[in-house]
Amino acid sequence: MTTAYGPVSLWAILIDAGVGTFALRLSFILLLGRLDTVPPQVVGVLRFVPAAVLAALVVPAIIVLTVTPTVGIDADPAKVLAGGLAAGVAWRTKNVLATISVGMVALWALQLVF
């Protein structure tokens, strides 16, 4: 793979990205370090961060947006059913290992059927 950027430009981009990432993370540490208590509204919102991150990682693997030849949603029935079953297990048990285990076994079994 070739690029129009030279080695100095690429290193500058990498260093800038690293410094920017570090600065962004450090800003939150410094900001929250100055607060005596975290406001209850922030705590309430932060409770939903793990679920939002998990959904952002899992849903694109189950449902795919297609743009050719037309815009639409493409979903593999085995993945949708296994994901729904795993979501039900997660809701009932609140156990990550049980959710992953049931979801994977269901996916493998449903892929044999579909």
Write the pLDDT tens digit of every residue in 10-21.
Answer: 999 999 999 999
Q: How much is the pTM?
A: 0.59
69-96 exposure pattern, b = at least 16 Cβ within 10 A, e = fewer: eeeeeeebebbebbbebbeebbeeeeee
Instruction: Please report whether residue 16 resides in a domain.
Output: yes
Q: How many domains does the chain have?
A: 2
What residue numbers bound the domain in which 22 lies?
1-37
Shared domain check, 98 and 61 = yes
Instruction: Please report whether residue 43 resides in a domain.
Output: no
Instruction: Please report whether residue 24 resides in a domain.
Output: yes
Instruction: Please report whether residue 42 resides in a domain.
Output: no
Shared domain check, 7 and 62 = no
> pLDDT tens-digit profile of 30-79?
887 777 787 889 889 989 998 899 889 989 989 988 887 888 888 899 99
Shared domain check, 108 and 53 = yes
Instruction: Please report whether residue 1 resides in a domain.
Output: yes
